[in-house]
Structure 1
Amino acid sequence: MHIRTSVEADLDQLLTLLSDKSVNTAHPERFTEFLANGQYRHEHTWVAEEGDRLVAAAVWWSFPGASGPIALDGLYALPDRTDSVALWTQLIQQVTSTASADSEPPSYHIFLPPGWRDDAPIRAALEPRLAAAKAAGMTNELERLRFEWLSDTPVPDRSTRLTFRAEPDDQAFLDVFQRVAAGSLDGNTHDTIARAGLAGYAQEELETYHEMPGERSWWKLAYDNAGDLVGFAIPSRNNGGPVVGFLGVVPEHRGHGYAADLLAEITADLADLGAERIAADTDLGNVPMANTFRRLGYGQFAVRLVLS
């Protein structure tokens, strides 16, 4: 068995492997499109080759121009393989074993329907992939709820108690990222701070939102009627369209329902830009944020499992 990165000559066999989508994100059409725009690359696609056949693959995603893989988008194997877990483990380790300890570790994102635990075929496809990821060292598992606002839902009224201002100075956002991290219910926030420190966490968040396709000019700080900073709101976009990028309330102003004001501003801004759908995620354990999404007309449509 030979483990290597893919090359252009592998494309036909790769697309055949990817045609069995299962619980994977990548599929032939997406792979072809993202290969052309740099979000998928052959050097980030690891394959297991037996003789002249590709028998398994791991497809990793990254921002165009990023130095290395960021997220695992799928694990694939020929249906007659009985060693898929072992093969997938080896393929994942090609990336995880070389990741820099100073940067955000690669993660595995799996998108599932809300009732996935009661769906036997989904669990049958999921369990060997989870086993491979954990055997490769991805033992931290986070479940996130995925919400969407659709244009046939009323646009929330903008806040009358907060004033929103665009702020071009990145330092202001670095400061507020650090402030809202205190007491956060977000699992990734805690993990990143544990790895990179508070300042490192803020810098990584800032860089992530700069890399996303949303405009920097959309980012806003929010102030109350006394002029105190309450929080911030980042509408953005990803490959799927408009998203709630980030919203946060500073600790001293929590408990007043300001998250709804921030979400209303993001939603209204994106709707004004023509959004027909706005997607958002929050951790399963962040019950207050999940309830805020529901109150403002967002419905849950999926679950994102993240292993790292």
Structure 2
Amino acid sequence: MRFRPATADPADLDRAVAYPADADGPVAALSPEKIREELAANRLRPEWTWFAEDEDGEVLARALWWGRADSERPIALDCLQVRPTVADPAALAAGLLAAGHEAFGALPEYNMSLPGDWRERPEAVAAVAWRREAAERAGLVRPIERLRYEWTPAAGTAGPTGRLVFRDGTDEEYLHAFARLAEGSLDLHTQGELRSMDAEQLAREDMAFYLDCPGERSWWRLAELPDGTLAGLAVPSATPYHRNVGYLGVVPEQRGRGLIDEILAEITRFHAAEGADRITATTDTVNTPMAAAFARAGYEVTEIRLIMEAAP
């Protein structure tokens, strides 16, 4: 068995594109058209496109890692497929991922896009099982399940109530707000990171991440009570495809008062005023207060994402 990245040879890239997108079931795969679009945008690249080949050169598995157009390394594994004729797909996929990780010098997370009822579908359960096993063997041992939401103009926007005042802040104020929001967070990634670093270190990483996203720093807002007391943070953001909720939250001492609705409404109003016809968002399935806030704001669940991460 040989594990290798694609070359820049158009014929080699054609092999990556031609691999059957529905070869092994219900886990969403990229269409040939989408792959070519992402290659053209430099979000998929030959060196991030890996094959497992037998001794005759037949492609038995394919892994497509994704990044932003200016990324030095891939951010996430977006597509992993193994031919249904392979007896042990988990073992083959684990070897393919390990080869890619070694070449990248990193362990990008693996995102699986799944239908909301995937646990009720035996074929989906089986397809997830071998992928998860492969990811764990390759070092991605922490699973996080997230709900993906979408807002469209048909849902409307809530007007300001006056309970909160939103203003721009300095880098120091934003850093402080990010750190405060991490305290007691229900977000599993945040909880995991806080096991290996303090809140200020995590705040710096969070700020750096959102500054690197396609959204603008000028969009960010501190949320305050009318007397100037910090209540939370609103970070409207964007992906390479559409507007995004980004980061939001309420400081610990103000939680439980419904202020998250005010902050989410501010982000939604901002994007809507800019002409957004779609706003996406995600939250962990265990973060039921945030999920309820999205539902109240008219955001609808479009899929579940199972994310496999390396341990912090």
For normalisation by structure 1, the TM-score amounts to 0.92
Change beyond 3 A, Cα 1:5–1:100? closer
Residue identity opposite 1:38 in structure 2: N
Is 1:269 aligned to residue 273 of structure 2?
no
Question: 1:150 touches 1:278 (CA, 8 Å); kept in 2?
Answer: yes
Residue of 116, 137, 140 corresponding to 1:138: 140
Q: Distance in 2 between matches of 1:18 and 1:68?
A: 26
What is the CA-CA distance between 1:307 and the residue it aligns to? Answer: 0.8
Change beyond 3 A, Cα 1:38–1:195? farther
Question: 1:159 touches 1:264 (CA, 8 Å); kept in 2?
Answer: no
What is the CA-CA distance between 1:198 and the residue it aligns to? Answer: 2.4
Is 1:280 aligned to residue 286 of structure 2?
no
Map of 1:111 onto structure 2: 113
Show structure 1 runs of 5+ residues with no match. Answer: none
Map of 1:176 onto structure 2: 177
How do 1:120-135 residues align onto structure 2 when only pairs under 5 Å count? 120-135=122-137
Change beyond 3 A, Cα 1:113–1:225? same
Map of 1:64 onto structure 2: 69
For normalisation by structure 2, the TM-score amounts to 0.91
Is 1:201 aligned to residue 202 of structure 2?
yes
Question: 2:68 touches 2:240 (CA, 8 Å); kept in 1?
Answer: no
Show structure 2 runs of 5+ residues with no match. Answer: none
Question: 1:219 touches 1:233 (CA, 8 Å); kept in 2?
Answer: yes
Map of 1:15 onto structure 2: 17
Question: 1:233 touches 1:246 (CA, 8 Å); kept in 2?
Answer: yes
Give the CA RMSD over aligned residues.
1.9
Q: Deviations over 1:225-273 (max 9, x none)?
A: 1111111101111133111101011112222111010000001111111
Is 1:217 aligned to residue 218 of structure 2?
yes
Q: Distance in 2 between matches of 1:299 and 1:78?
A: 34
Q: Distance in 2 between matches of 1:25 and 1:274?
A: 30
Residue of 5, 21, 39 corresponding to 2:43: 39
Comparing 23-32 with 241-250, greater Cα deviation is found at 23-32
Map of 2:305 onto structure 1: 304
Change beyond 3 A, Cα 1:195–1:106? farther
Is 1:5 aligned to residue 2 of structure 2?
no
Question: 1:158 touches 1:268 (CA, 8 Å); kept in 2?
Answer: no
Q: Distance in 2 between matches of 1:116 and 1:188?
A: 23
Residue of 82, 86, 92 corresponding to 1:87: 92
Residue identity opposite 1:299 in structure 2: E
Map of 2:57 onto structure 1: 52
Is 1:152 aligned to residue 154 of structure 2?
yes
What is the CA-CA distance between 1:181 and the residue it aligns to? Answer: 0.3
Question: 1:61 touches 1:69 (CA, 8 Å); kept in 2?
Answer: yes
Question: 1:159 touches 1:265 (CA, 8 Å); kept in 2?
Answer: no
What is the CA-CA distance between 1:125 and the residue it aligns to? Answer: 2.3
Map of 1:29 onto structure 2: 33
SS of 1:194's equivalent in the other structure is coil
SS of 1:14's equivalent in the other structure is helix
Q: Distance in 2 between matches of 1:191 and 1:96?
A: 21
Residue identity opposite 1:5 in structure 2: P
Q: Distance in 1 between matches of 2:13 and 2:108?
A: 24
